Amino acid sequence: MAESSPARFGILCCAEIARKVSRAIALTPNATISAIGSRTIEKATAFAKENGYPSTTKVYGSYEAVLDDPEVDVAYIPLPTSLHVKWAVLAAQKKKHVLVEKPVALNVKELDAILEECESNGVQYMDATMWMHHPRTAIMKEFLSDSQRFGQLKWVHSTYTFLGNSEFLKNDIRVKADLDGLGALGDAGWYTIRAILWATDYELPKTVTALRGPEWNEAGVILSCGASLNWKDGKVASFYCSFLTNMAMDIVVSGTKGNLRVHDFVIPFQENVAPFYTVEGSRFGELAISIQPAPSEQQVRIDLPQEAFMIKEFSNLVGNIKEKGCKPDNKWPTISRKTQLVVDAVKASIENGFEPVEVIY
Amino acid sequence: MAESSPARFGILCCAEIARKVSRAIALTPNATISAIGSRTIEKATAFAKENGYPSTTKVYGSYEAVLDDPEVDVAYIPLPTSLHVKWAVLAAQKKKHVLVEKPVALNVKELDAILEECESNGVQYMDATMWMHHPRTAIMKEFLSDSQRFGQLKWVHSTYTFLGNSEFLKNDIRVKADLDGLGALGDAGWYTIRAILWATDYELPKTVTALRGPEWNEAGVILSCGASLNWKDGKVASFYCSFLTNMAMDIVVSGTKGNLRVHDFVIPFQENVAPFYTVEGSRFGELAISIQPAPSEQQVRIDLPQEAFMIKEFSNLVGNIKEKGCKPDNKWPTISRKTQLVVDAVKASIENGFEPVEVIY
């Protein structure tokens, strides 16, 4: 059987994150960088050079040119969030598969415009939430799915915080109302919300209630916030996200029989080995002077970075569509939309004075 | 200088937890078990024998008899919560120092009756929150107090859950409306609330808001719940407690510069060595493909169990009062009252439909 040809990526803009994803594409056998576009040809040329792009890569002075290139299969869109809807919709119309950075849209209405266009044009959609593709994630999920070891899920907590320096807090896209109005909620909060949905098998909560005490910058962009989520069956979750606190990337999932903890879920401390911790059947020792057993560490070793696993998965889906006539996989649009719905609900709850907001797909 | 004579403990009832504390008294040089009282002399005699009490221990068939014994300095009260106010007040009136199990009272009004009686009789009051006295707790606090390493506190999360078996959920004191009406909130929640107050230097939050989705038993006793707390300066905290989930005992404290994590704060996994984890100055590596540094583990080795450190501290305070004419230390009543105020606020918030409740000392 002939090996499928690699998915040909066109990169829409020279964002910092595009450097990481470009490296991942280069590391992934079934993907290749076909084109890069920026608002000026000079910027695109410099970026291609700095990032060691193959000499075959086409360099364009506009995003449109990338989308018009028939040798581009995939539009990777790391533009500021407020520009996603315009460029993702156009990409889909031009029959490009869409890999878009998170937060994917300013609200679910915008996201739906993207998703509808992808669906009607038969192209694959995925948001670039890289940790979803780390092999550790699937191994952790096996534990959560094991009714003997983990039992029934009762409680999830997730945190993603990092300390933005003064330059970040002044000039980063993520703190600009006109570029990424969701601030820390859309950036760090996106991951924590996805983590909660991942742990709960993507069952949407009944209600979402923001925690009191979010912080905003002068432009009204969220710099820190949290929320609690609850489900009809009694499951409860909470998260906290911030640009104002030293880095933490935690998921803690508690079941009736076991717990899972991970402290670097968004980006592993090390690229090639990722730990997580499980414990099951915890009990008090005699006289309750000890607890048995202590959690045990498991390490997942990988030979590609997690973002390369993402590119590989996306390229596989593109290959299936291009060469085997498969339909786009609906899993990724669905979980992206659910994540956006919860983001929107948290924002709505903050805006309505921390009242609960119902979440309906 | 003559060594002060040991504090003489009288134990009020044969609760399971009294076995652990009796062992701790036996292990503590400046404390001794002077008397044990139960509702029947047979029960008290059997308990004294089973727990290897010294032959000099007096055994009584009532609690009053313990309080009337002039050779008892301290009343240790592990009775069901609903009986604390009666027996702690009587103990204070009889000039016994009061070490009372948590939750200390069903509400702050009851606790105030105890505290006022202790104050007016010049006796020491302390709640038996053992982990406060583990040397690890002070070492962790040093980290949180270090403005260079930890920075400014922004976020605290604490969890204490354990899985009650069917016998526990049917018959334990802690699920009986007439014995311990606070259920998981008063038991496990007490620890998580204390942990949050400990981390925030006992600064009371401005408001407390219960998380939606608590669980109750048929008698209306809370089996699981959570809350968020917030402070005027933007600090936010949350906790979750439950009798329905595998054991977790976590505190995570996030500052601008560092984080602290501990996963066995209530009772260490091992009696003689207790770990915790800190990280400071976390940053993204080149291309954000890694995070540096990973948290590092510190281990605190001890030669006495944490409950013996509690007995030692309490006995020191008693010795200071008895032999040096010192006044009772006001720290312990104050933090006990603050903990109870937050417990009450969570309960009030659950009862008022999850609206925020102001906390005023």
Quickly list DSSP for A60-114: ESSHHHHHH-TT--EEEE-S-GGGHHHHHHHHHHTT-EEEEPSS--SSHHHHHHH
A37 in Cβ contact with A31 (< 8 Å): no
Element of type H or E holding A167: helix A166-171
* Region B140-166 average pLDDT: 98
Looking at the partner chain, which of B154, B268, B292 has a beta carbon nearest the beta carbon of A245?
B154
Q: Is A273 within 8 Å of chain B by CB?
A: no
Tell me if ipTM is over 0.85: yes
> Which residues of chain A lie closer than 8 angstroms to B17, CB-CB?
288
Tell which residue, A129, A133, A118, has the closest CA to residue A328.
Answer: A118
Tell me the average pLDDT of chain B.
97
% of chain A at pLDDT higher than 90: 97
pLDDT band of B148, cuts 50, 70, 90: very high
Distance CA B274, CA A294 (A): 11
A147 in Cβ contact with A155 (< 8 Å): no
* pLDDT, tens digit, 9 for 90 and up, residues A176-218: 999 888 999 999 999 999 999 999 999 999 999 999 999 999 9
Nearest chain B Cα distance for residue A122, angstroms: 32
Phi, psi dihedrals of residue A58, rounded to the nearest 5°: -90, 140
First CA to last CA across chain A, in angstroms?
Answer: 41
CB atoms within 10 A of CB B106: 20
> Helices marked H in chain B — which ranges?
16-27, 41-50, 63-68, 84-93, 108-120, 135-144, 166-171, 183-186, 188-199, 306-324, 331-351
Q: Which two tokens stand for residue B248?
A: 């977790």
Give me the pLDDT at residue B219, please. 96
Q: Is B352 within 8 Å of chain A by CB?
A: no
Kindly list the structural domains of chain B, giving each domain's residue range(s) and its CATH number in brackets, ordered by start.
Answer: 7-128 (3.40.50.720), 135-304+340-358 (3.30.360.10)
Nearest chain A Cα distance for residue B278, angstroms: 11
Tell me the average pLDDT of chain A.
97
pLDDT band of B343, cuts 50, 70, 90: very high
> Which residues of chain A lie closer than 8 angstroms to B228, CB-CB?
211-213, 226, 228, 238
Q: Which two tokens stand for residue B89?
A: 């007040």
CB atoms within 10 A of CB A68: 16
B72 in Cβ contact with B96 (< 8 Å): yes
Distance CA A233, CA A260 (A): 20
- Residue B304 pairs in a beta bridge with none
B254 in Cβ contact with A246 (< 8 Å): yes
Max Cα distance, chain B (Å)? 72
% of chain A at pLDDT higher than 70: 99
Q: Which two tokens stand for residue B218?
A: 């048929």
Q: Is B38 within 8 Å of chain A by CB?
A: no
Non-local (6+) Cβ contacts of B16 within 8 A are A288
Distance CA B251, CA B157 (A): 6
- Scanning B182-241 for CB atoms below 8 A from A yields 207, 209, 211-213, 215, 224, 226, 228, 230-231, 234-236, 238, 240
* pLDDT, tens digit, 9 for 90 and up, residues A300-345: 999 999 999 999 999 999 999 999 999 999 999 999 999 999 999 9
> Residues A180, A181, A183, A189: is their CA dihedral positive or negative?
negative
Q: For strand A125-127 and strand A97-100, is the pairing parallel, antiparallel, or unpaired?
A: parallel
Distance CA A128, CA A190 (A): 11
Residue B93 has pLDDT above 90, yes or no: yes
> Which residues of chain A lie closer than 8 angstroms to B151, CB-CB?
246
pLDDT band of A4, cuts 50, 70, 90: confident
By three-state DSSP, how is residue A166 classified? helix
Residue A1 has pLDDT above 60, yes or no: no
A10 in Cβ contact with A37 (< 8 Å): yes
Q: How many CB pairs under 8 A join A and B?
A: 217
**Distance of CA B263 to CAs A165, B55, B165, Å?**
30, 40, 22
- Residue A297 pairs in a beta bridge with A277
Residue B150 has pLDDT above 50, yes or no: yes
Tell which residue, A353, A307, A319, has the closest CA to residue A18.
Answer: A307
Non-local (6+) Cβ contacts of A270 within 8 A are B290, B294
A36 in Cβ contact with A48 (< 8 Å): yes
Non-local (6+) Cβ contacts of B203 within 8 A are B197, B231
Is the Cβ pair B228, A249 closer than 8 Å?
no
Nearest chain B Cα distance for residue A113, angstroms: 31
> Residues A241, A245, A248, A250: is their CA dihedral positive or negative?
negative
Give me the pLDDT at residue B169, please. 97
Looking at the partner chain, which of B248, B267, B284 has a beta carbon nearest the beta carbon of A254?
B248
* pLDDT, tens digit, 9 for 90 and up, residues A249-280: 999 999 999 999 999 999 999 999 999 999 99
Give me the pLDDT at residue A3, please. 61
Q: For strand B283-284 and strand B215-216, is the pairing parallel, antiparallel, or unpaired?
A: unpaired
pLDDT band of B168, cuts 50, 70, 90: very high
> Which residues of chain A lie closer than 8 angstroms to B163, CB-CB?
256-257, 282
Distance CA A98, CA A125 (A): 5
* Region B18-31 average pLDDT: 97
Tell which residue, A230, A224, A183, has the closest CA to residue A204.
Answer: A230
Distance CA A226, CA B157 (A): 12
pLDDT band of B3, cuts 50, 70, 90: low
Q: Is B254 within 8 Å of chain A by CB?
A: yes
Q: Which residue is it, tokens 């996989």?
A: A329
Looking at the partner chain, which of B230, B279, B288 has a beta carbon nearest the beta carbon of A213?
B230
Q: Which residue is it, tokens 């059987």?
A: A1
Give me the pLDDT at residue B4, please. 72
Phi, psi dihedrals of residue A260, rounded to the nearest 5°: -120, 135
Non-local (6+) Cβ contacts of B331 within 8 A are none
Q: Which two tokens stand for residue A257?
A: 């029989």
